[in-house]
A = this chain, B = another copy of it.
Amino acid sequence: MSDLRGGIDLGGTKIQTAVIDTDGSVKGEARRATPTEGTPADVATAMSEALVEAAKAAGVESADLQGVGVGSPGDADEKTGVVSGARNLPGWEGSFPLGETLAKELGTTVRIGNDVQVATEAEFHLGAGKPYDSLIGVFWGTGVGGGLMLGDKPWLGRGAAGEIGHMVIKRDGAKCPCGRHGCMEAYAGRKAMEDEARRRHEHGHKTDLFKLMKKHDKPRLTSSIWAHAIDHGDKVATHLIERAIEALGTGIASAVNLLDPEAIIIGGGLGLRFGERYMDDLLEEMRKHVFSETMPDVKMASLGDLGGAVGASLLVSH
């Protein structure tokens, strides 16, 4: 057996895997698009294929790994490895024994954790969060997830803490993919933004977003499609990103007013793509609502796209 560990970040858009040594260095990585159709078993197959590829890149078999950690959306039960209600994944409204399934396919131990929490802990221990004792990780992607580190420790509440994307920023506001109204995610989540872009397009607003999606053969409006459209002055795309930044600034400020943390770490697909570019707007929006005279530091996640997979690998104990 090697001393390498595997990590899988199961996102709504892509599956990112990595194989990591004891120092936290990445020795191999691979990714797959997250299946948009099928069943949880199909998603599990794509996950194990990607992990096998990452292991190969690191020069080992998956069965030689110390174990594999998975950062999963939905309700991830760390004890049983069962994942329930992962609504951004195909056919995953119910429960699926993800840990057990992957363990069979990979021939090694598999540990399941919450995707956002493992990414937050990765940034806290190895990334942009290292200088701080308290922080909120904000992962802006298909949805908007949050992870909390308070006084050097994760705060999970009764298991469901960190749902910053479902803090209400506008009572009676836009409908959220979660079914509620006025959540931050209803304005800032990639999926909600795509739905709103489609509505505007159908109502005659001129936008190249869907043309670009077809041209680049994407099943959805990925962060690169949004970036492309904005770079070409697409008004709908520009307005919707600015609207998302306003929502993020408002919701993050609300969280800051409640918790007064030292830092905010911005990650996620859209976060990594647009966080730096719109940082001044985000800070300006936060300043409108932050009650304390002292703003927290706002930093970009430094482990980038691999943060989730690296964080997931930390679930495997040495």
Number of A residues with CB within 8 Å of any CB on chain B: 46
Could you give, for residues 215-246 of chain A, a 1 whenever the CB lies within 8 Å of some chain B CB and a 0 otherwise? 00000000000000000000000000000001
From B151, B166, B253, B291, A160 is in contact (CB under 8 Å) with: B291
What number of copies of this chain does the assembly contain? Answer: 2
> Which B-chain residue is minimally distant from A136 (CB atoms)?
B258
Q: Considering residues A167, A247, A288, which has the most beta carbons from chain B within 10 angstroms of its beta carbon?
A: A167
- When the two chains form their complex, are residues B258 and A164 in contact, meaning their CB atoms are under 8 A apart? yes
CA distance A291 to B176 in the complex (A): 11
A166 in complex: contacting residue of B181, B182, B251, B289, CB < 8 Å? B289
- At the interface, yes or no: A25 with Cβ under 8 Å from chain B? no
Assembly CA distance A118 to B272 (angstroms): 41
Q: Looking at the complex, which one of B134, B181, B250 makes contact with A171 (CB distance below 8 Å)?
A: B250
Give the Cβ gap from A249 to chain B, nearest Cβ, in Å: 9
What is A's interface to B at a CB cutoff of 8 Å? 134, 146, 148, 150-151, 153, 155-164, 166-171, 173, 178, 180-183, 246-247, 250-251, 253-255, 257-262, 288-289, 291-292, 294
Can you sample 12 A-B contacts with CB below 8 Å?
Answer: A148-B258, A158-B261, A162-B260, A163-B260, A163-B292, A166-B289, A166-B291, A168-B169, A170-B171, A171-B247, A180-B289, A254-B254
